[in-house]
Amino acid sequence: MPDWLLYTGSRRTHDGVDRLPPPPPWRAFDGGPVLPAPSGGSGNTHQATTYRPSDDAVQQVNAALYLRRPLLVTGPPGTGKSTLAYAVAHELGLGPVLHWPITSRATLRDGLYQYDPLTRLYAAGREVGGGPAEDEDIGRYIRLGPLGTALLPYGRPRVLLVDEIDKSDIDLPNDLLTIFEKGEYEIPELTRRAEPDAEVLTADGSGGAPTRRDGGPGGRVTVRGGTVRCSAFPLVVMTSNGEREFPPAFLRRCVTVELRQPAGEAELAAIVREHLGPLAGEGEDLVRLFLRRAGGGTLATDQLLNAVYLCRHADATDRRELADRIMPYLAGAADDD
Ligand SMILES: Nc1ncnc2c1ncn2[C@@H]1O[C@H](COP(=O)(O)OP(=O)(O)OP(=O)(O)O)[C@@H](O)[C@H]1O
Ligand SMILES: [Mg+2]
């Protein structure tokens, strides 16, 4: 394994990220005071500890970490694009993945923070004197989103999963890149106050009452001067199923990797074993069946996992037929299959 690789795909947690050299001068950020690493696992332990990345994926994750650039992960459904983010967070001990699922309605502002003025007004109305006072705890009504939290000045990179960015509205990718270039954003609801410092909620919270003040789960963090600026640039994993082409200017600012379906029987069988333990003859038959069928159209690895699991437990007379039914083509089915 080459020495420069911090993430190796070993599936065991280690402190390799401490060897990450300082950023290139054009990607250095000086936010602070530096926050401690958040506690907790990646948030998806089974997926994270069973993932077998391709050599390409390992290399490009490391390139993104070194260069402090977002990683754009493309590939067909079920090739492990989203899981890659959890696997890296688990191996490098980078804490809970900040998951931002993208829809056509997602805006940059949703990812950065949400401000809840109605609850604030309601709370103020119950106080003597009516409207909110200038010195009230406005931070209680500001919750940072996954993107906003990832850009807090953590000493170690957080992992931000911008999932299915190709589903977004046309402007979001470029808006995102502007933020990633600057490594900071402003919260105007704070900057226009006489006292712009505030203790806001983070995306790590469970949604309940905030109890901790260290940036950990359920935590609140102090935003100084109404501006959030990162320290360690987050590892941003953006996934895409290819529903959209991205402009060259966008691609230039990303590290890219394309994931593929495992091509060979050995590779596929190893993935199934990671998830479901040793494979008996029947499981091996299903792997071969999957590979034959995959030649005729798009199938996803998790369809094979489902088939192996089900055939192991279901009391079916014709398991081949059962497997066929839970491995329908996702796209490009051959006519004569
Ligand atoms: N290389 C791999 N090693 C182990 N498991 C894998 C691998 N690739 C995919 N899987 C498994 O296949 C399933 C699908 O993975 P995942 O959801 O990450 O795919 P995806 O590319 O994000 O799919 P989609 O495009 O539908 O969002 C998961 O259960 C994952 O654990
Ligand atoms: Mg996915």
Measured by CA distance, the residue closest to atom 28 of ligand 1 is 302
Judge: domain 16-258, CATH 3.40.50.300. Answer: yes
Of 91-105, 213-227, 235-249, least confident by mean pLDDT is 213-227
Measured by CA distance, the residue closest to atom 8 of ligand 1 is 80
74 within ligand 1 shell (Cβ under 6 A): no
Torsion angle (degrees, nearest 10) of CA 33, 39, 43, 47: 110
What atom in ligand 1 is closest to the CA of residue 80?
Answer: 18
51 within ligand 1 shell (Cβ under 6 A): yes
End-to-end CA distance of the chain: 42
Strand residue runs (E) in 187-268: 198-201, 220-223, 227-229, 235-240, 255-258
Of 64-73, 76-85, 288-297, least confident by mean pLDDT is 288-297
3-state helix, strand, coil split of the chain in percent (to 5) is 40, 15, 45
Measured by CA distance, the residue closest to atom 9 of ligand 1 is 80
Residue 162 has pLDDT above 80, yes or no: yes
How, if at all, do strands 198-201 and 220-223 pair?
antiparallel
What atom in ligand 1 is closest to the CA of residue 274?
Answer: 4
**80 pLDDT band (50/70/90 cuts)?**
very high
The alpha carbon of 216 and the centre of ligand 2 are apart by a number of angstroms equal to: 26
Q: So what's the pLDDT on residue 210?
A: 39
Which segments of the chain belong to CATH 3.40.50.300? 16-258
241 within ligand 1 shell (Cβ under 6 A): yes
60 within ligand 1 shell (Cβ under 6 A): no
Q: How confident is the model over 137-145, as a mean pLDDT? A: 93
Among 32, 82, 34, 88, smallest CA distance to 65 is for: 88
Q: So what's the pLDDT on residue 315?
A: 73
119 within 8 A of 68, measured Cβ to Cβ = no
Q: How confident is the model over 113-117, as a mean pLDDT? A: 90
**207 pLDDT band (50/70/90 cuts)?**
very low
